[in-house]
């Protein structure tokens, strides 16, 4: 893309007053008919006695047609089947015959809205080989990102691609290595699998025993989740529900060592749970001391406390030790008892009292993955969905109803659907602010509607309720908004935070810079929110929606986003950089490559262009850092599925 992404290929000008498309608007009119009508309309203005100028011109035109008909090419008339094609024979142009002039013109199809255009226009249907080629480009980007990290930051948590050095911002456990390992396995990047596995085997256990403070949430989702996902993909742990679809020829890691390191790390992280006076864990752990403490303000983020269960529950399954699952599930069982606002909860919780703190309700930072894990934990433990974990799906359902009632609005003038915030609770003012982090929600809504199977299959099996269909439509509407947050900027990359124009709200500010975008006046991007951190949430939802709806537009949108990453964030010496301002060209780069760019963003893009039997959504659940873990079934369930 140059300058910014092009607007989506449809126009509301093609829609009639009743909302239907008028095919007559797209029918070509005969040039001869138009000319005759023009003469009939205008000739009265130039009358000269009884013989008018119009009559003279009409007579002259008819004479010309008769001349052409009588003096046709000696090679005979042009065959009808060649009309519309350019024909050459010995460099002699054939004279047209009367049928050429009176041939009925072709009828053009109407321009369609984005939900239909990719289904009906064969020009936009890419061949399987084209998607394979694009998938290869994503793999090359992953290898380029890894090369920068390996050359300049191996062993550090993150790469600083501009200054060619590493930095430890996540506890010094080599977070990029662990976050990247399962991505490398999925892509078949064997050299990277070997390099990452060797480093983990030789260094990670020692790092865990020597390092100091780490955040419970970040270490669980990135390091523990990464280790466990690589463990599953590298061996047959018999905890899953089916084949991953990853070729057996791809190189794997050492599963025994991965599980050993996982247990050692998890045992230390458990101190955050057992040291707390309530079911809510403390936020930080000192690994080498095996101690835990709360954050300086004494609070934990609601999302952080409730986004630990997928990893710890899976570890209990593969080790046979229930302590990990027991401690993690206490959090959700406790949150079940707390008061909520139509299923919605504040973004802070106090581990000392076990109560929510403040009234700020949002699905962005510090709130997002609470809602995600209500659904995903329920999906993961399939054997308990209708029994001990039924309450999780009920909490999820209530929360989504609350989102639709209290947080979903439309912009003016073009009615983009978005999810806002209630900074002061139900009684306070609504804020038309949406973090990029909220773009996880379209994928979660789609997953909640079909439970991972395709929409087509769910409809054929009559598995979708009216509420499921409503949620799936909301998912598609929100995904479009998330994509427009990219396309509305000069770089084609989304800001960290966007605000939206709504009726009766005086919120104002600069736009994204792409003046050709239809929604440039709907989306506001404030100066402090213009940065892009290479985040994955939008491409995550595109991946899930493509798997469920099978609509190729999601692949097309993902490809445009990937091209923008390539154009503006790729560093020639290796790695990719965050951006300070997505609204200006050229954008100023920020000297950091987040671990989730390799662990999530590129993984979801790769899977977006992959076959649907790779990590199928009814057999795998992705943790909030995109590490796939198998849906856990009982032995009886697994035998029935074979």
* Residues known to be catalytic: 218, 368, 496, 537
HSE (side-chain half, CA atoms, 13 Å) at 466: 0
Helices (H), 488-551: 537-549
Was 624 annotated as part of a binding site?
Answer: yes
Under DSSP, the state recorded for 433 is E
Question: Is the Cβ–Cβ distance between 454 and 550 less than 8 Å?
Answer: yes
Q: Give whole-number Cα distances, 568 to 140, 147, 149, 493, in Å.
A: 16, 18, 18, 9
Instruction: Provide φ and ψ at 180, rounded to 5°.
Output: -90, -20
364-373 burial code (b ≥16 CB/10 A, e <16): bebbbbbbbb
Q: Give whole-number Cα distances, 68 to 75, 92, 100, 403, in Å.
A: 14, 16, 11, 70
Determine how β-strand 408-410 pairs with β-strand 417-419: antiparallel
559 three-state secondary structure: helix
> What is the C-alpha separation between 379 and 617, in angstroms, rounded?
10
Q: Which residues pair with 621 in a beta bridge?
A: 629
Helical (H) or strand (E) element with 204 = none
54-69 burial code (b ≥16 CB/10 A, e <16): beeebeeeeeeeeeee
> What is the C-alpha separation between 479 and 383, in angstroms, rounded?
31
515-546 burial code (b ≥16 CB/10 A, e <16): eebbbbebbbbeeebbbbbbbbbbbbbbbbbb
> What is the C-alpha separation between 182 and 193, in angstroms, rounded?
8
DSSP codes, 309-365:
HHHHHHHHHHH--THHHHHHHHHHHHHTTS--BTTB--SEE-TTT-SEES--B-SST
DSSP codes, 592-604:
-B-HHIIIIIHHH
Helical (H) or strand (E) element with 410 = strand 408-410
Taking residue 100's Cβ as centre, other Cβ atoms within 10 Å add up to 15
Q: Give whole-number Cα distances, 280 to 337, 348, 376, in Å.
A: 13, 11, 19
Under DSSP, the state recorded for 298 is S
Residues 6+ apart with CB under 8 A from 247: 188
> What is the C-alpha separation between 156 and 134, in angstroms, rounded?
30
Question: Is the Cβ–Cβ distance between 353 and 278 less than 8 Å?
Answer: yes
Q: Which residues pair with 21 in a beta bridge?
A: 15
> What is the C-alpha separation between 28 and 38, in angstroms, rounded?
16
Give the max Cα distance, the chain. 111
* Binding annotation for Ca(2+): 624
Binding residues: 624
């Amino acid at each position: 893309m140059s300058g910014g992404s092009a607007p989506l290929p449809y126009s509301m000008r093609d829609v009639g007053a009743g909302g239907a498309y008028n095919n007559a608007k797209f029918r070509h009119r005969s040039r001869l008919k138009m000319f005759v009508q023009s003469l009939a309309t205008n000739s009265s203005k130039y009358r000269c006695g009884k013989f008018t100028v119009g009559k003279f011109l009409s007579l002259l035109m008819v004479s010309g047609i008769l001349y052409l008909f009588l003096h046709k090419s000696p090679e005979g008339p042009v065959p009808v089947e060649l009309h519309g094609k350019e024909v050459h024979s010995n460099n002699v142009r054939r004279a047209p015959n009367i049928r050429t002039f009176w041939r009925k013109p072709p009828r053009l199809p109407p321009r369609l809205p984005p939900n239909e255009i990719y289904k009906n226009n064969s020009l936009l249907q890419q061949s399987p080989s084209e998607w394979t080629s694009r998938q290869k480009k994503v793999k090359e980007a992953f290898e380029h990102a890894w090369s920068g990290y390996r050359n300049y930051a191996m062993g550090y948590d993150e790469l600083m691609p501009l200054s060619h050095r590493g930095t430890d911002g996540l506890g010094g456990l080599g977070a990029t290595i662990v976050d990247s390992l399962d991505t490398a396995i999925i892509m078949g990047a064997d050299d990277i699998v070997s390099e990452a596995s060797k480093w983990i085997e030789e260094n990670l256990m020692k790092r865990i025993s020597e390092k100091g403070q780490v955040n419970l949430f970040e270490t669980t989702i990135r390091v523990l989740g990464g280790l466990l996902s690589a463990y599953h993909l590298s061996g047959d742990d018999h905890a899953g529900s089916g084949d991953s679809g990853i070729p057996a020829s791809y190189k794997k890691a050492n599963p025994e060592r991965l599980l050993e390191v996982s247990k050692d790390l998890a045992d230390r992280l458990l101190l955050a749970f057992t040291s707390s006076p309530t079911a809510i864990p403390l936020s930080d752990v000192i690994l080498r001391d095996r101690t835990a403490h709360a954050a300086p303000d004494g609070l934990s983020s609601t999302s952080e406390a409730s986004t630990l269960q997928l990893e710890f529950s899976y570890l209990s399954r593969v080790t046979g030790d229930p302590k990990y699952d027991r401690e993690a599930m206490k959090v959700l069982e406790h949150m079940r008892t707390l008061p909520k606002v139509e299923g919605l909860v504040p973004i802070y919780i106090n581990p000392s009292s076990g109560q929510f703190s403040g009234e700020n309700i949002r699905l962005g930072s510090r709130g997002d993955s609470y809602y995600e894990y209500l659904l995903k934990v329920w999906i993961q433990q399939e054997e308990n969905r209708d029994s001990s974990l039924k309450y999780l799906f009920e909490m999820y359902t209530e929360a989504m109803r609350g989102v639709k009632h209290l947080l979903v609005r439309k912009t003016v003038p073009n009615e983009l659907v978005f999810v806002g915030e209630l900074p002061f609770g139900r009684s306070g003012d609504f804020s038309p602010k949406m973090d990029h982090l909220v773009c996880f929600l379209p994928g979660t809504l789609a997953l909640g509607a079909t439970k991972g199977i395709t929409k087509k299959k769910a409809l054929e099996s009559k598995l979708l309720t009216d509420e499921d269909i409503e949620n799936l439509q909301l998912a598609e509407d929100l995904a479009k908004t998330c994509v427009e947050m990219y396309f509305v900027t000069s770089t084609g990359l989304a800001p960290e935070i966007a605000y939206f124009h709504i009726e009766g709200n005086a919120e104002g500010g600069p736009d994204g810079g792409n003046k050709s975008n239809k929604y440039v006046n709907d989306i506001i991007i404030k100066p402090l929110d213009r940065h892009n951190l290479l985040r994955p949430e939008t491409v995550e939802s595109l991946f899930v929606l493509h798997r469920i709806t099978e609509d190729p537009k999601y692949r097309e949108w993902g490809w445009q986003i990937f091209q923008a990453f390539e154009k503006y964030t790729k560093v020639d010496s290796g790695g990719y950089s965050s951006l300070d301002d997505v609204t200006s060209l050229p954008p100023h780069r920020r000297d950091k490559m987040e671990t989730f760019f390799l662990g999530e963003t590129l993984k979801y893009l790769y899977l977006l262009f992959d076959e649907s039997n790779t990590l199928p959504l009814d057999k795998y659940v992705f943790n909030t850092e995109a590490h796939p873990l198998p849906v856990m079934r009982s032995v009886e369930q697994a035998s029935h599925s074979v």
